[in-house]
Structure 1
Amino acid sequence: MTTSSLPLFPLSSVLFPEGNLSLRIFEPRYLDLVRDCARSDSGFGVCLILDGQEAGQPAVPAAVGTLARITDFHTLPDGLLGIHARGAERFHVLNTRVRDNGLILGDVEFFDAEEVVAVPADCGLLATILERVHEQLGGDISLVDRARYDDAGWVGYRLAEVLPLELPERQQLLQINDPIERLGQLMHHLPRFQRA
């Protein structure tokens, strides 16, 4: 595991590796964050808010989050800055401090990359469901290489994004280090979403 200092952006959502994130930036601390990331070609940490709000006073972030790398900037219809970012490595927050402008900085330890493992036969239904959902959504996601649906880690993260899970459930799935265990947890949740 590698350790680094990272600006943190607590959100009322969970970002998964290779997931997409769109943000509307208006607070000075986050405008500074975006500017600094653009200048240094670095990312920022996205963590689920455990206590507090996205705007205003610094919120309490979850201890496990995902590095976000900005992929695009644009001006929104209301004149504010919009960004698109993509999830990269997961990390564990060791400690935090707050800058004068309210931006949270975290000393983080990055998790090792998960090994690519095949979706086991008893979880094959999950890959099938995900593929059907992606077909219905259309767009770029429907054009994904079919081989991705055999990757247990990718299937687990993508299903965690599209299933109507509670935020604590999504966070729990992010914190699991074994892709097969993550699929097992999703299999446990699945009966809630199946039609009678």
Structure 2
Amino acid sequence: MAGRSSRAELPLFPLSTVLYPGGRLELRIFEPRYLDLVRECTRDDRGFGVCLILAGREAGEPALPAAVGTLARIVDFHYGADGLLGIVAEGAERFRVLRTRVRADGQLRGEVGWWPEVPEVPVPVELALLQTIAERLVEAMAPQWKHAPRACYDDARWLGYRLAELLPLSGDERQRLLELTDPLQRLAELRDILPRFQKA
């Protein structure tokens, strides 16, 4: 992000899901304000902000977004059999929402501050079991990661984000894991959550 301003204004898309850096998001777009958002982002080659909804719903009145979200960049789009626009977006940098405003058309805009990029951190041997679990989850649930290089599983950032999106966690848990700044702390918390999913 060399030469980039530490702040920006983004169109915000509050959702009932959490997008992580490097993650994949598929959306069907039908509300005029979000069709405008997609047009604007495509025209200007920029992304939009994805934030977990704290109050409200995805459709209708503007929802209250979480204060920390992830930039989403549109990488593909198509029209479904129902005629609705579908987009595929990938998660990029995290940000903190500093203030928001609602446009006349109901689209939520936010002034955001970019979070510093976290350097790569190797996965310590005491957390290596999480690599095996991630491999099994990817094999069963996430074909887009099946050919990920082995180096990805050795990176605590990548590993933590993939586990956080693939494990059946609550929205609040996913949001907390997004907001953690230490990749090793994220992995440690995921390790401590795992016994909940073990069969009796």
Give the TM interval when normalised to the shorter protein: over 0.9
SS in 2 for 1:18: coil
Consecutive unaligned residues in structure 1, runs of 5 or more:
none
In 1, Cα distance between the equivalents of 2:37 and 2:55? 21
Aligned to 1:152: 156
State the Cα distance separating 1:137 from its structure 2 match.
3.5
Q: Hey, which bits of structure 1, 4+ residues long, moved more than 2 A?
A: 135-140
Equivalents in 2 of 1:183, 1:70: separation in Å? 28
- Pairwise mapping of residues 2-41 of structure 1 onto structure 2 (< 5 A)? 2-41=6-45
Worse-superposed segment, 118-127 or 87-96: 118-127
Corresponding residue number in structure 2 for 1:191: 195
- Deviation string 1:13-55 (CA, Å, 9 cap, x unpaired) is 0000000000010111000000000000000000000000000
Distance 1:107 1:137 in 2: 35
**Which SS does the other structure have where 2:21 is aligned?**
coil
Are residues 170 and 31 of structure 1, via their aligned partners in 2, closer, same or farther at CA, if it must alter by over 3 Å? same
| Secondary structure of residue in 2 paired with 1:161 | helix
Partner Cα distance (1:158, 1:88) in 2: 14
How many angstroms apart in 2 are the aligned matches of 1:194 and 1:64?
31
The structure 1 residue matched to 2:137, chosen from 126, 133, 141, is 133
**1:113 aligns to what SS in structure 2?**
coil
TM-score, normalising length: structure 1? 0.97
The two structures have a TM-score, normalised by structure 2, of 0.95
Report the Cα offset of residue 128 of structure 1: 1.0
Deviations 1:90-135 (A, max 9, x none): 0000010000001111000011111100011111111110012212
Q: Tell me the C-alpha RMSD between the 2 structures.
A: 1.1
Within 5 Å, give how 1:39-78 maps onto structure 2.
Answer: 39-78=43-82
Within a 5 Å distance, the mapping from 1:76-95 to structure 2 comes to 76-95=80-99
How many pairs are equivalent? 196
Which SS does the other structure have where 1:21 is aligned? strand
Give the stretch that moved more between structures: 143-152 or 43-52: 143-152
Supply the distance in 1 between the matched residues of 2:142 and 2:172 (Cα, whole angstroms).
28
Deviation at 1:138, TM superposition (A): 6.4
Percent of residue pairs bearing the same amino acid type: 60
Distance 2:134 2:33 in 1: 37
Alpha-carbon spacing, 1:21–1:138, altered in 2? closer, same or farther (3 Å)? closer
**Structure 2 letter corresponding to 1:124:** A
Deviations 1:36-75 (A, max 9, x none): 0000000000000000000000000000000000001100
